């Protein structure tokens, strides 16, 4: 047997912390959940039960807490880079570090149009995350993203012109409800001049703008595929540091409730959400070789 390097690692997962920073009376918080996984040069721990190279996962957990205090948590991406640097610089036999971080979406409570100095509310529109990979001797690779962004629009969506065969029962429709739970992950080619929080917010707003369209009119979606591609295109246009974007948009179905059996008409007014089965649409795009940052 031989090991598959990119699939061989160990570490600590699910390390939760809240970093509090104060500026006078104003308090700032970042709550994150961290996974750190490391790959060692030797595999003697697996092969022979020799633990002499192992950095205990408890040590890794304590390192996460210590670095949160020492370097702070300005953004998930910044903190992830600090973790990669620490393990690669502190242990010569660590060959690669993988970090996954998710951020809890705390927002300041607003009262009378004024933001509170130390009180927050959890507003879970979606989950922000980042993934980092740094191999010894290489530059850190950084992905950011979001998941579980549930959106719905009641019109301005259709699906026509698809293949029909003897098993097709789906009718063509030019006006339908469109709902999905969006997963998006993008890779940064460079972090130079990047405000990670601002870039993440811009990407999220691009996703919502393409899906919804102008507030008073909306925008027509010819398919989930087309809306997904238009979103990726806009993200790449807005944020030059991003080199590639992967997105998943499952088509969450809402079917008309059958009211005929109780002698009532249902004019597209009462619908039933159906979790499964669902259509899954996924695409990854990257800048062409002629694109320049």
Burial 104-138 (b: 16+ CB within 10 A, else e): bbbebeeeeeeeeeeebeeeeebbbbbbbbbbeee
* 127-135/106-111 β-pairing: unpaired
| Catalytic residue selected from 57, 154, 246, 286 | 57
DSSP-derived 3-state class of residue 234:
helix
Contacts of 275 (CB under 8 A, 6+ apart): 252
Q: Are 17 and 64 in contact (CB under 8 A)?
A: yes
Give burial (CB, 10 Å; 0-12/13-18/19+) of 218: middle
Helix, strand, coil fractions of the chain, as percent rounded to 5: 25, 40, 35
The whole-angstrom separation of Cα 186 and Cα 147 is 12
The whole-angstrom separation of Cα 227 and Cα 222 is 8
Q: Are 119 and 107 in contact (CB under 8 A)?
A: no
Annotated catalytic, 93?
no
The whole-angstrom separation of Cα 127 and Cα 42 is 36
The 8-class DSSP code of residue 262 comes to G
| Catalytic residue selected from 12, 61, 86, 100 | 12
Annotated catalytic, 57?
yes
* Residue entry with tokens 């919804």: 212
The whole-angstrom separation of Cα 97 and Cα 84 is 6
Contacts of 11 (CB under 8 A, 6+ apart): 35, 36, 37, 38, 57, 60, 98
| Catalytic residue selected from 43, 44, 253, 286 | 253
Catalytic residues: 12, 57, 253
């Amino acid at each position: 047997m031989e090991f598959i390097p990119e699939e061989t690692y160990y570490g600590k997962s699910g390390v939760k912390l809240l970093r509090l920073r104060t500026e006078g009376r104003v308090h700032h918080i970042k709550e994150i959940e961290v996974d750190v996984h490391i790959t060692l040069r030797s595999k003697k721990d697996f092969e022979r039960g020799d633990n002499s190279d192992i950095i205990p996962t408890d040590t890794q957990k304590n390192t996460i807490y210590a670095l949160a205090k020492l370097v702070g948590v300005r953004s998930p991406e910044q903190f992830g880079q600090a973790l990669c640097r620490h393990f690669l610089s502190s242990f010569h036999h660590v060959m690669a570090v993988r970090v996954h971080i998710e951020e809890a979406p705390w927002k300041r409570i607003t009262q009378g149009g004024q933001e509170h100095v130390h009180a927050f509310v959890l507003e879970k529109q979606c989950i922000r995350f980042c993934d980092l990979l740094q191999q010894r001797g290489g530059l850190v690779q950084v992905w950011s993203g979001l998941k579980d962004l549930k959106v719905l629009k009641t019109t301005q969506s259709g699906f026509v012109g698809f293949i029909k065969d003897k098993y097709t029962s789906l009718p063509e429709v030019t006006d339908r409800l469109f709902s999905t739970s969006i997963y998006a992950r993008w890779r940064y080619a460079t972090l130079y001049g990047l405000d990670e929080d601002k870039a993440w917010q811009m990407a999220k707003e691009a996703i919502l703008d393409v899906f919804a369209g102008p507030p008073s009119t909306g925008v027509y979606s010819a398919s989930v595929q087309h809306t997904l591609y238009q979103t990726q295109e806009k993200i790449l246009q807005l944020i030059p540091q991003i080199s590639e974007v992967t997105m998943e948009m499952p088509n969450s179905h809402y079917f008309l409730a059958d009211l005929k059996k109780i002698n009532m008409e249902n004019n597209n007014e009462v619908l039933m959400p159906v979790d499964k089965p669902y259509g899954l649409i996924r695409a990854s795009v990257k800048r062409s070789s002629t694109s320049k940052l």
